[in-house]
Amino acid sequence: MNPPLLSLEEAQARLIALASPLSIERVDVPGTLGRYLAEPLRARRTQPAAHVSAMDGYAVRADDLAGPWHVVGESAAGHPFHSPVNPGEAVRISTGAIVPSGAQAVIVQEDVTRSDGSVSLTGSGPNPCGRHIRGEGSDFRREAELLPAGTRIGPAQIALAIAAGHRHLAVRRSPRIAIIDSGDELSADPETCALHQVPASNGAMIAALAASLPVQVSRIGPVADSREAIIAAFDAVEDADVIVTSGGASVGDHDLIRPALEQWGARLDFWRIAIKPGKPLLVAERDGRLIVGLPGNPVSAMVTSYLFLLPLLRGLLGAARPLPVAIDQRLAGPLPATGDRREFIRARFEAGGVSAVSTQDSGALGALAMTDLLVDRPAGSPALAAGESVRAYLLQNGGLS
């Protein structure tokens, strides 16, 4: 008899527990895009390193705000003015330039008139005093922890790391993932496909989803529905950190992924989750390599990749929060009640909210390609009307820019 279905939370927790972060390497900062900090990011310098002007104008003393002032020099970005500013004096200053000693105020140039080497106030002046000055360390100070370990490195984090004085960052190495298409009905060539065949589309779809993360992908298949062929495929990708199959995960006579894994010596960690689509998902382990057996139906493969494979890859990359984050959305149309499995309804953005796509069939690629988000509906949920609020996950599915 089959064991009871696992809940989504239980299954995700088991998966994340298997995802020990990979070894640490040091990578030049721009090359870390999409990876996760393996150590907290600490500032190696203070920014701004000195008080700097936030505007183009004139630096004057705080006890000398009435003017007029004699312009005694210039502080430009990269070219500071080295003498103190005395009463009656102003220093021409540009945005980002160091405020010279003695000066505590910057008057924007729109508030003064300049003639014959002096400036006089014609506007409101530096109210309050100190405005238009970015104080030393107002962004960050040397030794401060700027970001915790496990933070994803995007454009702003790259800029911050460089500004904080880093040439390299410690990150986890990229996981190697091998994606296997399997099934006797699959054709490698979508242009020459007989009636009894379907083009092998899952492998390319899963690789495209994984491409949102810094992973190294290899693909093999289509592999025939025989234990020997599946085991040979596993052997061929033995150096992968994660092996992903799609299809053959269910209970049919030709669903051979589970028996092949057992024969290969892998330990089945869990199989079958109480979600729709995606019930037959399985996860196994052999010698530290993880095998994710996705269901063959394309929609089920996409949904389980999003809920399991991507979190697993994030876990290996050292993410602090490997699981996707749901957002609240308003329904533009009604939703039916759900049964005894938690459902992930394929939906898209429309005027007034989100709306379920035309068919929820887990084989329907046409509807999947229209899907922007997955509405998360717990088991036993009542029917909902337009205007009600739902939790949803934004799918990385192409339709949105």
Rounded Cα gap, residues 270 and 292, in angstroms:
10
Based on CB atoms, which residue is closest to ligand LQZAQKY5, 248 or 311? 248
Rounded Cα gap, residues 224 and 180, in angstroms:
11
Q: Which does 136 bind (CB under 5 to 8 A by kind): ligand MOO, ligand LQZAQKY5, none?
A: none
| Residue 42 dihedral angles phi and psi, to the nearest 5° | -110, 145
Cβ-Cβ contacts under 8 Å for 254 (sequence gap 6 or more): 184, 225, 248
Rounded Cα gap, residues 285 and 118, in angstroms:
77
**Footprint on residues 71-110 left by ligand MOO (CB under 6 A):** none
How many DSSP H helices and E strands does the chain contain? 8, 26
- From the centroid of its chain, how far is CA 361? 28
Binding mask 286-325 for ligand MOO (x = CB under 6 A): ---------x-x--x-------------------------
Give one DSSP letter per residue of 56-96, joined into a string: SEEEE-TT--S--EEEEEEEBTTB---SPPPTTEEEEE-TT
**Footprint on residues 156-195 left by ligand LQZAQKY5 (CB under 6 A):** 181, 183, 185-186
Based on CB atoms, which residue is closest to ligand MOO, 166 or 276? 276
Q: Which one of 272, 276, 346, 348 is in contact with ligand MOO (CB under 6 A)?
A: 276
Q: By CB under 6 A, tell whether 248 contacts ligand LQZAQKY5.
A: yes
The C-alpha angle 143, 139, 157, rounded to 5 degrees, equals: 80
Q: Which one of 21, 67, 126, 277 is in contact with ligand MOO (CB under 6 A)?
A: 277
CB 5, min distance to ligand MOO, A: 10
CB 362, min distance to ligand MOO, A: 3
Q: By CB under 6 A, tell whether 258 contacts ligand LQZAQKY5.
A: no
And the tokens for 273?
Answer: 């989750």
Q: Which one of 32, 362, 371, 397 is in contact with ligand LQZAQKY5 (CB under 6 A)?
A: 362
**Distance between the two ends of the chain, CA-based, in angstroms?**
47
Cβ-Cβ contacts under 8 Å for 127 (sequence gap 6 or more): none
Q: Which stretch binds ligand MOO (CB under 6 A): 117-125, 237-245, 276-284, 346-354?
A: 276-284
Binding mask 306-345 for ligand LQZAQKY5 (x = CB under 6 A): ----------------------------------------
Tokens 């009640």 correspond to what residue?
337
Q: By CB under 6 A, tell whether 255 contacts ligand LQZAQKY5.
A: yes
CB 13, min distance to ligand LQZAQKY5, A: 22
And the tokens for 196?
Answer: 């009894």
The C-alpha angle 152, 139, 151, rounded to 5 degrees, equals: 10
81, 52 Cβ separation under 8 angstroms: no
Question: Which pairing describes strands 267-271 and 282-286: parallel, antiparallel, or unpaired?
Answer: antiparallel
- Residue whose C-alpha is closest to residue 258's, from 291, 290, 233, 229: 291
Tokens 């160091």 correspond to what residue?
98
Based on CB atoms, which residue is closest to ligand MOO, 203 or 278? 278
Q: By CB under 6 A, tell whether 338 contacts ligand MOO.
A: no
**Footprint on residues 56-75 left by ligand MOO (CB under 6 A):** none
CB 348, min distance to ligand MOO, A: 20
Based on CB atoms, which residue is closest to ligand LQZAQKY5, 279 or 314? 279
User: Can you name the residues that pair with 91 across neighbouring β-strands?
Assistant: 59, 73
Based on CB atoms, which residue is closest to ligand LQZAQKY5, 146 or 303? 303
Q: By CB under 6 A, tell whether 71 contacts ligand LQZAQKY5.
A: no
Q: Which residues bind ligand MOO (CB under 6 A)?
A: 276-279, 295, 297, 300, 362
Q: Which residues bind ligand LQZAQKY5 (CB under 6 A)?
A: 181, 183, 185-186, 198, 200-203, 246-252, 255, 277, 279-280, 295-298, 300, 362-363
